[in-house]
Amino acid sequence: MINLEWYRTFVAVYDHKTLTKAAAYLYASQPGVSVHLNALESYVGKKLFERSSRGMLPTEDGKQLYNYISDALKKLEKAEHHFKKTSKDAVPSLNIGMCTETFQTILETEISQLDFDLVAKFGEHPFLLKDLENGILDLVITPKQHKNQHKTSSYQAFAKETIVLIAGNKTPLTTIYKLIENREISELENYLKRETWYSASNEMAHFNRFWHENFHKRPDFKPNYILPNISSIIRCLENNHGFAIVPDFLIQNSLKNGSIQQVWKGNKEVSNILYFATRKNVQHQKEIDFIKEIFRRKMGSSLKTN
């Protein structure tokens, strides 16, 4: 027997005109909607939609199928609503994307307080923004704007992260502070290159950019320890010896308890503007606003709003 979800997906696409809106209506992913639709077309042996710049346009076969099943599906939905054992409304599900460290620092401790479901995805920003465009994600926290997405996506600047040089609290800093005070930049570079360094495989851009802006060259040495992410760097440096270059908002708790020292912001500030990225036909606005407010509240003390 045919899968009833295929019919539900077909009707949702027919009613909402696009895969993205249908996915949002069904609380499903856009790839999942595509899978159902392709399976139904394969089962009936007919093409049900024409994909165009105007959206999903039903073929004549698609129109006929819709006329046959739409009323029946509406009756089934009414029956489900009438006979279900609980009156609890469907819980919205929000899909968000960001880097792992940002999630751990800002959002992780807030999860148990949410009154909606949350799916968090981690990865590189270009891929997260692509998922946003494709309707897989509802909100992305990103320091980058996708130039080709401004017709479909909205970017709201909300904070600034500053890239800083840090050290574990057992690291001697007297010589470094003296070199910085005297602006002996070449000597400072040579001193730092002889020290123990930590970096992350997915965050070398911070390291390279800070070094280039302040020493006017690319770093010609390799960090001693390449770790999975910045959170690992911070944990390894706490109450230890060594250096790293990281965004300042990730170290606020470590600075407060004295396990990490912020050494230098550089002669030239290196920073990124952080954005809330959403689709323009946004779903779950209430839930998105709730997540935004968490970020503003928790990052406001360490980052200046743009």
Q: What is the pLDDT of residue 54?
A: 80
| Same domain flag for 288 and 263 | no
176 lies in a domain?
yes
Indicate left, alpha or beta for 45 from its phi (over 0: left) and psi (-120 to 50: alpha). Answer: left
Place of tokens 């099943």: 69
Which of 26, 59, 83 is at the close of a domain? 83
pTM for the full predicted model: 0.64
pLDDT digits over 76-114, tens only? Answer: 877 766 665 444 456 888 999 999 899 999 999 999 889
| Same domain flag for 280 and 149 | yes
Q: What is the pLDDT of residue 301?
A: 44
Cα(189)–Cα(176) distance, rounded to whole angstroms? 10
Nearest CA-CA partner of 243 in 173, 183, 181, 177? 173
User: Counting every residue, how long is the chain?
Assistant: 306
pLDDT digits over 153-193, tens only? Answer: 899 999 999 999 999 999 999 999 999 999 999 999 999 99
Which of 83, 102, 128 is at the close of a domain? 83
Q: What is the pLDDT of residue 81?
A: 63
Domain count, the chain: 3
305 lies in a domain?
no
| Same domain flag for 58 and 143 | no
Burial 254-284 (b: 16+ CB within 10 A, else e): beeeebbbbbbbbeeebbbbbbbbbbeeebb
Burial 86-97 (b: 16+ CB within 10 A, else e): eeeeeeeebbbb
Cα(226)–Cα(232) distance, rounded to whole angstroms? 10
65 lies in a domain?
yes
Inter-helix orientation angle 30-44/19-26, to 10°: 100
List of residues 6+ apart from 222 with CB closer than 8 A: none
Task: Provide the residue range defining the domain that includes 17.
Answer: 4-83
Cα(57)–Cα(247) distance, rounded to whole angstroms? 47
| Same domain flag for 66 and 195 | no
| Same domain flag for 153 and 165 | no
| Same domain flag for 200 and 259 | yes
